[in-house]
Amino acid sequence: MIDTSRLIPPPSSQQADPLQARIFIIDDEPVNIKVVRKYLQIAGYQNFITSSDAPRAIELIRAEQPDLVLLDVMMPQVSGLQILEQLRSDPAFRYLPVLILTASADATIKQTALGLGATDFLAKPVEAGDLVPRVRNALVVKAHHDNLAQYSHHLEHEVKLRTAEVEASRLQVVHCLARAAEYRDDVTGRHVIRVGRYAGIIARELGFGEDRVAMLEMAAQLHDIGKIGIPDAILLKPGKLAPDEYKVMQQHCEYGRFIIQPDGPSQVTSGTSRSLLDLAADIAFTHHERWDGDGYPSKLQGEQIPLEGRITAVADVFDAISSKRPYKDAFSLEDCLSILRDGRGKQFDAKVVDAFLRRVGEITLVQQTLADAA
């Protein structure tokens, strides 16, 4: 969990000077505007926007972005209550202080105004002793709210930065673990990166969301982490393995699951309700299972095999047969695609192979970009 208390300092107790606030006065009677403005000028306020054009009130407020609105209620064409309702329906003005000024003694108007979100209510004729402190108080609260909003925005930005750093570190750790296994028979470590990319492309074609694709790309890179437990004499043998050697090689699936999750599945959830390590452990254990049940280590078949394992199986086989290894040369693209088609519905899930073939152009571009050094 990120310690947000150390990201940025708490909001400052020093607020902006209320006397510098922008005050918008709306009244259909210019004389009322003059009176209110005069009272506020005497109190030190100097920054005013005024209008007697009620139909343009919302337009002017959006353009001028005032810190406080003094709003008359009884105006022709558009009433102050209508203007207030429009303001409060706009998230940008949900917390804009609005002081209602009216000569009406109707209690219903006051209740309606307060119900619509009026900050305060002043009766006309306005008295300076009532107006000035209420304006000051409203502006102080507004300044405090703005300060908190700014703090929240900065905090959110800092949390995103720290989260990105944590995510980058996590990705580096995955790459390091994956390369640790691959370095023994693939010194570039690009095989695991390519398999992750291929798996992501297939998954995207199958309709996975981007968060799930990103997790699969990382998890698939750990598919062969269990090779760490395979002796060099078998792992690097330049030729076909003997039956007993092949049985030892098959154990890398179980080794992989144990390396990633020695204590079994975690209780951590993420995005698709699975953690990265849960997914990586499943892939490491099942990426050599076959759709027809003749794979290893558990002879799972069909949809008993996790979909991510089925996807990684296709990605892994394609990269294995299209790359040079100590025991073989790289196959041509045509031969690789022919092998995948022949395995469709037998070794591989048909829908996964079909998704691969539909995106083969993107696959080969990744293959070329991340090709092993000669």
Mean pLDDT of the chain: 86
For residues 319 and 260, the answer to whether their CB atoms sit within 8 Å is no
Token digits of residue 369 = 């970009």
What ranges make up the beta strands (E) of the chain? Answer: 23-26, 48-51, 68-72, 98-102, 120-123
How many residues would you count in the chain?
374
Query: How would you classify the pairing of strands 120-123 and 48-51?
Result: unpaired
Class of domain 4-155 (CATH, top level): alpha beta
Residue 231: helix, strand or coil by DSSP? coil
Omega of the bond leading into 297 within 30 degrees of 0 (cis): yes
For residues 101 and 27, the answer to whether their CB atoms sit within 8 Å is: yes
Q: Where are the domains of the chain?
A: 4-155, 183-369
Is residue 4 over pLDDT 50? no
Other CB atoms closer than 10 Å to residue 206's CB: what's the count? 17
Which amino acid would we find at residue 252?
H
Give the amino acid at 105: A
Residue, of 18 and 150, whose pLDDT is higher:
150
Q: How confident is the model at residue 67 (pLDDT cuts 50, 70, 90)?
A: very high
The label of the residue with tokens 């296709």 reads: 314
Q: Tell me, what's the pLDDT at 341?
A: 97
Structure tokens at 100: 């209602």
Q: Tell me: pLDDT of 8 over 80.
A: no
Is 178 or 214 the better-scoring residue by pLDDT?
Answer: 214
DSSP string, 17-48: -GGG--EEEE-S-HHHHHHHHHHHHHTT---E
Cβ burial, residue 95 (10 Å; 0-12/13-18/19+):
middle
Strand order in the sheet with 98-102: 48-51, 23-26, 68-72, 98-102, 120-123
Q: What is the pLDDT of residues 302-319, one digit of tens each?
A: 999 999 999 999 999 999
Tell me the pLDDT band of 273, cut-offs 50, 70 and 90: very low
Is-contact 225 177, C-beta < 8 A?
yes
pLDDT at position 277 over 70: yes
- Amino acid 265: pLDDT: 67
Render 314-356 in DSSP notation, one character per residue: HHHHHHHHHS-BTTBPPPPHHHHHHHHHHTBTTTB-HHHHHHH
pLDDT at residue 54 greater than cutoff 50 = yes
Which residue would you say has higher pLDDT here, 180 or 313?
Answer: 313
pLDDT tens profile 203-259: 999 999 999 999 999 999 999 999 889 998 888 888 888 999 999 999 999 999 999
In the predicted model, what is the mean pLDDT of residues 174-194? 73
User: What contacts 24+ positions apart, CB below 8 Å, involve 298-302?
Assistant: 302/349
Percentage with pLDDT > 70 across the chain: 90
pLDDT of residue 186: 60
Instruction: Give domain 183-369's CATH number out of 1.10.3720.10, 3.40.50.300, 3.90.226.10, 1.10.3210.10.
Output: 1.10.3210.10
Q: Tell the residue number behind the tokens 């209620």, with chain if given.
A: 73
